Amino acid sequence: MAVQTLQEGVTSLSGLLSSSDSLRILRGGQTVTGSIDQNALTDLGNVEISSTASVNLGGGGSNFKAKLTGTLSHAGSGRIYVEAYQGGAASTIARTKLIGPGFIYGRNGTFTRYEQSAGEADFNESSIIPTAIVGGGTFRAAFVTGTTGFQTAIFSGGVVYTERGLDTDASGSKMYVTGGCECHVSRSNITASITQSPGTTNMPMGTGSTASGVIVVSGPGTVLDWQGYTIDTIYVLGGARLDMSAAPVSFSVGNLFVDRKSLLASNWQSKVPGVTITYSAKTIYGSNDDTLPG
């Protein structure tokens, strides 16, 4: 359970770490690719990259591989290519934090709790993120099926491009978009098979088990560009804007709650020919009736 420090200029982790150890990178600008596959170890504790380091961990097809019971914290300006991987199989990293100007590339496994206040992150289709909390920087997450979407997503700043929606088989899956965040929920490639049968296997969803999914969009300057599929319940409040204008397929919203500021700021229907969005139940706070404009 020792804390090991990677020295400046060293480009390999060979012989440095044992099971349950933690790793610190305090300074340096090297690229570390030697022996970065640590999946033979039972686990590691924490991996900390300081704000004074511009070290790259992985790259060129090589990823840092380990199970972490603690925190992967990246405050530096370098790039990290990481897989939650142990014993030859996808595993977990308990907590991941991007708190500097650098980059994190998630390439496999479950990142149980992901937090970001700066920098740039990109998670591929093999990376699962049950909880994502993004308050700054740029965050990208590739498509996964509905049953492995977000259980909790809090997007309170920065720019978010996510092809995944809520976890459709979790109870009470939630997405909060607030604080002036610009959030885009969409598939990068819409094919004929997706538009003909959008469903939970093809499109980002706004649903939880037994219709328990909730999306909250709130505050001035906040935008949710929804190009996904069915939504259980959505709140749009405080001048936030819900933009449905580019929705590629018809779908339904179970329950809509909106105040007048957001009512007038939002686009409630798609401009794509033949696409209709149906609102099963609507509550417009402070209005004479519950009729949507347009």
- Check whether residue 264 and residue 173 sit in a common domain: yes
Domain closes at, from 76, 98, 120: 98
In angstroms, the Cα distances linking 293 to 15, 34, 74, 226, 268 are: 66, 60, 46, 18, 8
pTM, to two decimals: 0.97
Q: How confident is the model at residue 155, as a pLDDT? A: 98
- Check whether residue 179 and residue 285 sit in a common domain: yes
Q: How confident is the model at residue 1, as a pLDDT? A: 81
How far, in Å, CA of 82 to CA of 254, rounded?
38
Range of the domain at 26: 1-98
31 lies in some domain: yes
The pair of structure tokens assigned to 231 is: 């939504």
How far, in Å, CA of 273 to CA of 280, rounded?
21
- Check whether residue 20 and residue 63 sit in a common domain: yes
124 lies in some domain: no
107 lies in some domain: no
- Check whether residue 88 and residue 144 sit in a common domain: no
Q: How confident is the model at residue 117, as a pLDDT? A: 98
104 lies in some domain: no
- Check whether residue 146 and residue 37 sit in a common domain: no
201 lies in some domain: yes
Which residues in the chain show pLDDT less than 50?
none
In the chain, the number of structural domains is 2
239 lies in some domain: yes
- Check whether residue 90 and residue 145 sit in a common domain: no
- Check whether residue 160 and residue 269 sit in a common domain: yes
103 lies in some domain: no
- Check whether residue 286 and residue 244 sit in a common domain: yes
Strands 89-90 and 79-86: antiparallel
- Check whether residue 150 and residue 280 sit in a common domain: yes
Q: How confident is the model at residue 253, as a pLDDT? A: 98
Beta bridge partners of 115: 97, 133
Q: How confident is the model at residue 237, as a pLDDT? A: 98
Report the amino acid identity of residue 139: F
- Check whether residue 277 and residue 195 sit in a common domain: yes
- Check whether residue 93 and residue 138 sit in a common domain: no
118 lies in some domain: no
- Check whether residue 270 and residue 136 sit in a common domain: yes
